[in-house]
Amino acid sequence: MEVGINGTFPLEIATGTDIVALRKEYGKELLMIGGIDKRAMVAGPDAIRREILGKLPFMARRGGYIPWCDYLVPPDVSFRNYMYYLNLMKDITLDPDRYAYEAKKEGLARW
């Protein structure tokens, strides 16, 4: 921030990047794209839901964030899993408060 960087992509989860922690530390001043673990897309709907619910409601409510996976979509992601991922992200960004409640109820919220 001190040298003029105000945004970042990718936000690679395998290296330990935590988008919720970054948002808490830097606020909306740091613009972000990504940070959703792409490996969840391979694992299937349950893993996708846990991964997205644990992060996106918090991030969507604060702004300065474009939801996306942590780098590129892997080639071994099925079309079905990919569509589930996209639709869930869309639903959460349209109603983050509802999904924040669900995340807390399911013990996935870290905020």
How do residues 62-79 score in pLDDT, each as one tens digit?
Answer: 999 999 999 899 999 999
Range of the domain at 94: 7-105
Distance of CA 73 to the CA centre of its chain: 14
What is the residue type of 17? Answer: T
- Phi and psi for 36 in degrees, rounded to 5? -100, 125
Q: Answer whether residue 66 is part of any domain.
A: yes
For the whole model, what pTM was predicted?
A: 0.92
How many domains does the chain divide into? 1
Q: Which of 16, 5, 6 is nearest to 70 (CA)?
A: 16
Q: Answer whether residue 83 is part of any domain.
A: yes
Q: Answer whether residue 96 is part of any domain.
A: yes
DSSP letter for 36, please: B
Q: What is the pLDDT of residues 36-66, one digit of tens each?
A: 999 999 999 999 999 999 999 999 999 999 9
Q: Answer whether residue 24 is part of any domain.
A: yes
